[in-house]
Amino acid sequence: MQLLDEATVNRAGRTGGTFLHTSRVRPSTLPRGRVPPHMTGYDQPVNDTTKSVLRNLEHIGIDVLIPIGGDDTLSYGKRLHDEGMHVVAIPKTMDNDVYGTDYCIGFSTCVTRTIELTHRLRTSAGSHERFLVIEVFGRYAGFTALLPTMAGAADRCVIPEYPVDVERLTELLTEDRNRNPSRYAVVLVSEGSRLTSQEGMSFEGTEADMFGHRKLGGIGDRVGTALKELSPKYNNGRRIDVVNQRLGYLVRSGDPDALDSIVPMAFGNLALDLVVKKEYGRLVSIHKGFYDSVPLSSVTSDKKIVDVSRYYNTDRLRPIYEFDGAPLFIMTSD
């Protein structure tokens, strides 16, 4: 616990990361080996420790809990609400994939960093006349690849919602490269993307966290290897080499950008307004550019992923550029 004063909050408000810290612990499915020694009565291989969580919240005098996070954090927040805890939730994930809100804290900074770092990498790709393959975060949703591509960071993008034919990708990138005076082309690849020639996602290992997620990684390397092997077919028999880069935590480190300084301020005030009005079980949100709140149950009601038919050109492997009447970040959670 940390008591908040004005100086602490002011400093935290202009700094990246979470001074609350974070974990991948899931109290409803806690392995016996992870149960703290002072907690007795949990002797099953996997234990639901929610009753202890509720008892601890009561003991330290928490009247209202404001969970800040993505699907996993907020789904457990809903569980606590269902158990009688007063909960008002705030969506925060750079993947921007919480259902019920068009925007999650961190997404703008992620897009900003991705564009900036991709443009920096162009110098090497152009110098060597190569394909530039950049792997970005995005397990189930491709927003973090689609939006930067839409903003001009890449020629093509590969997203989890649509398995890509790497032959078609090679053909398109070769055309892009040959049209470019500097003789290079760029593709952004979401970490959860799949190839039509492979089964499932690409993982770094077999170990899963408490939410059942195995660590993703390697799809960028797979795409890069395939591009190199197939390129002679579309480049008059000459192979095109590849620059592979995984952006990883670079896009979620450091200070927030302007939008991610404004939105959290607004979300925090919206949450406090709901607390003052005793309107619990709500998720603060943005819908089509307007601040609002929705039932917390929205988080678990559906998955927020890219609507391929509206936003992704499956033949050209790039965004659909139609903006009339669209909100600032184009894609809604409808």
Q: Which residues pair with 282 in a beta bridge?
A: 88, 295
Catalytic residue among 71, 95, 102, 155: 95
Output phi, psi for 242, to 5 deg: -130, 140
Q: Can 72 be counted among the known catalytic residues?
A: no
Question: 30-31 and 46-47 as β-strands: parallel, antiparallel, unpaired?
Answer: antiparallel
In whole angstroms, how far apart are CA 56 and each of 47, 74, 76, 80, 85?
A: 17, 19, 16, 12, 12
Q: Residue 57: in which H helix or E strand, if any?
A: helix 50-59
- Residue 17 is given by DSSP the state S
CB atoms within 10 A of CB 277: 9
Amino acid at 276: V
Q: Are 57 and 81 in contact (CB under 8 A)?
A: no
Q: Are 185 and 168 in contact (CB under 8 A)?
A: no
* Catalytic annotation, residues: 95
